[in-house]
Structure 1
């Protein structure tokens, strides 16, 4: 069974998914950050594949992408860095990015490499559901790689149900129609959206992303979903850190609060 599916079966609530950009702050920090996140108590991790035009991301993550690319990061380099990670990493690991670099690498080759290094799933915001189902799902299934779809307040019920039926693992529930790092807190409109989706009784758990940054916003998101995703706020921790492992531990445990001790 895929590690993502196992996680939500074992722990259906208060799951913290942390995003960071591969090769940031320094080229060879990828495994270091990943290991520190596991030891700090993160439940699953998204590793961002840097891209020159990350259209869903705000300034903070855009700048981390730019720095990573300047550092020399590439898809090939990322797979090299992740090779052997399962000797020390047990939590689910996803790669997050955009479809163009994956297509250039080759879908079959990319999924095969994911399986070989122990990646559990992909998040590709600009890959249409219909295109995935028509062309790519058999290859993802062949290598046991889950494809995680995003929904927004503007996503129709019909499309949400199609996504739920066509995928497994979890659904990435974007809290608002914005880019990463631009929202703070959970508004009444967001709560109405969360309630509307929860009322659909979907088979997949949801994680809420965009605007989650601390214990307060994490716990608020967990009232409406199986957990939350933090990206920009964690990138800022990495930017400002003078002692990576210590600062990562402090931040993750601060976000999870009492649940980090369970």
Structure 2
């Protein structure tokens, strides 16, 4: 088991994950933010590696990716920064981004580099499940990396079952099919979607992301899953005055 598996096995309270973009707001912000987020009480971290064409992201994360790229962030720089990750951060850490930079870096090299710096899992939403299973799964298994798949309200039960078979961390439930940054919809449709997934009794735990920004949306997610992932709201917060010093305040605004 990696740190992510151990966390889900041992902690029974609702889990909080925080996403931020590597290289934003400054090129050398990555480890400082990760350390501060852990100290403030988050359960695990997702570090986004920027890409020039982030189709699934809303304007907040798109802007952070643009600035990070301007600052000089790329996978090579990120792995250099993460060499000291496990000297400063003990909670699970995942990398999240698009498949194009991973392919350019080389999937085998990417997985090896993740293992070298202590990464526990990877979220690459546009990596086709077929390609993962037939081309890359062994690289992930060799390096003890959890590959996290995404599920939307439109995902068929057959595909969800297959995702569950291939997963060894958690399954990321998108609260909607929109881009990141939209508020979690508290509606009959959302309730039916979350209930449908819960009633499937999957072997992997689930987390909800997209639209989690406050106590209400976090608690709503925790009714149906093991917890929630906060992304756009935190990235937006990082652009406010004295954000680094106020990270504990932000975490308390989500999970008091």
TM-score scaled by structure 1? 0.96
CA offsets 1:139-172 (integer angstroms, 9 cap, x no match): 1101111100000000000000000011111000
Q: Does 1:173 align with 2:167?
A: no
Equivalent residue, structure 2, for 1:38? 38
Q: Does 1:227 align with 2:221?
A: no
CA offsets 1:225-256 (integer angstroms, 9 cap, x no match): 0000111000110011x223322111012211
1:67 deviation in Å? 0.4
Structure 2 alignment gaps of length 5 or more: none
Q: Partners in 2 of 1:243 and 1:183 — Cα distance?
A: 25
Structure 1 stretch displaced more, 179-188 or 230-239: 179-188
State the Cα RMSD in Å. 0.9
Equivalent residue, structure 2, for 1:201? 201
CA offsets 1:3-32 (integer angstroms, 9 cap, x no match): 110000011341001100000001100011
Other structure's SS at 1:239 match: coil
CA offsets 1:192-249 (integer angstroms, 9 cap, x no match): 0000011110001100011110111101110010000111000110011x22332211
Equivalent residue, structure 2, for 1:182? 182
How is 1:26-105 mapped onto 2 (pairs within 5 angstroms)? 26-105=26-105
Q: Does 1:250 align with 2:229?
A: no
Other structure's SS at 1:83 match: helix
Is the Cα contact below 8 Å between 1:185 and 1:212 reproduced in 2? no
Q: Partners in 1 of 2:233 and 2:205 — Cα distance?
A: 23
Is the Cα contact below 8 Å between 2:58 and 2:181 reproduced in 1? yes
1:55 deviation in Å? 1.1
TM-score scaled by structure 2? 0.98
CA offsets 1:111-143 (integer angstroms, 9 cap, x no match): 111000000000000011111001000011011
Q: Partners in 1 of 2:237 and 2:103 — Cα distance?
A: 32
- The size of the alignment, in residue pairs, is 256
Q: Partners in 2 of 1:63 and 1:88 — Cα distance?
A: 27
Q: Partners in 1 of 2:179 and 2:11 — Cα distance?
A: 29
1:188 deviation in Å? 1.6
Q: Partners in 2 of 1:76 and 1:7 — Cα distance?
A: 28
